[in-house]
């Protein structure tokens, strides 16, 4: 087992590292990109097992695995860029689920909504809020005029 230098001096066993070649699912991170659909891609899965010993412990527990981290990366760095938009793609070991459309709304329906336009009033509540805001703005102008008039009177 390889040894690494411990913080307090001396040496401690290195974490166990296991790398395997896998076929994963690559997709663009931008859900609006045509490359968002998953496609098979070659990757490398790295499992790092930290033992009690690799964390500085000793005794009979030195070889017990304390925790495990799993990393996944593309085998070829040229595969990272999305062929459609050029942004970095992500890779996963799991194929993204496709849920049945039982509600009548598509799975990516929220991404197909129009841009927000604050000038558009859609409901009675929107109209009421706009009227209340206009009334509030009118009162603020009146209060500013009153304060200015009183300030001028105090200065005389």
| Range of lowest pLDDT (19-23, 27-31, 124-128, 148-152) | 124-128
Read off the pLDDT of residues 24-76 as tens digits, 9 standing for 90 and up: 999 998 888 889 999 999 999 999 988 888 878 878 888 888 899 999 999 99
Domain range summary for the chain, segments of one domain joined by +: 3-95, 113-156
> What pLDDT does 8 receive?
55
Residue 151 main-chain phi, psi, to 5 deg: -65, -40
> What pLDDT does 101 receive?
77
In this prediction, residues 83-89 reach a mean pLDDT of 93
Read off the pLDDT of residues 13-24 as tens digits, 9 standing for 90 and up: 778 889 999 999
Vertex 79: Cα angle to 112 and 30 (nearest 5): 15
pLDDT for residue 135 is more than 90: yes
* CA 113 – CA 49 distance, rounded (Å): 45
Any residues with CB less than 8 A from the CB of 75 and at least 6 apart, and which? 21, 42, 43, 44
> What pLDDT does 25 receive?
96
> What pLDDT does 111 receive?
73
**Of how many residues is the chain composed?**
156
Percent of the chain with pLDDT over 70: 90
Q: What is the 3-state secondary structure (H, E, C) of the chain?
A: CCEEECCCCCEEECCEEEEEEEEEEEEECCCCCHHHCCEEEEEEEEEEEEECHHHCCCHHHCCCEEEEEEEEEECCHHHCECCCCCCEEEEECCCCCCCCCCCCCCCCHHHHCCCCCCCCCCCHHHHHHHHHHHHHHHHHHHHHHHHHHHHHHHHC
């Amino acid at each position: 087992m390889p040894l690494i230098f411990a913080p307090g001096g001396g040496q401690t066993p290195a974490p166990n590292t296991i790398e395997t070649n896998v076929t994963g699912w690559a997709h663009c991170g931008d859900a609006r990109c045509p490359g968002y659909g998953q496609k098979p891609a070659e990757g490398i899965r790295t499992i790092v097992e930290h033992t009690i010993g690799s964390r500085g412990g000793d005794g009979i527990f030195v070889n017990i695995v304390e925790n495990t981290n799993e990393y996944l990366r593309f085998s070829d760095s040229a595969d990272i860029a999305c062929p459609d938009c050029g942004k970095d793609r992500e890779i996963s070991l799991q194929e993204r689920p496709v849920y049945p459309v039982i509600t009548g709304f598509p799975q990516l329906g929220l991404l197909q909504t129009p841009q927000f336009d604050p000038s558009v009033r859609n409901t009675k509540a929107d109209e009421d809020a706009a009227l209340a805001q206009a009334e509030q703005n009118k009162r603020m102008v009146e209060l500013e005029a009153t304060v200015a008039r009183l300030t001028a009177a105090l200065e005389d």
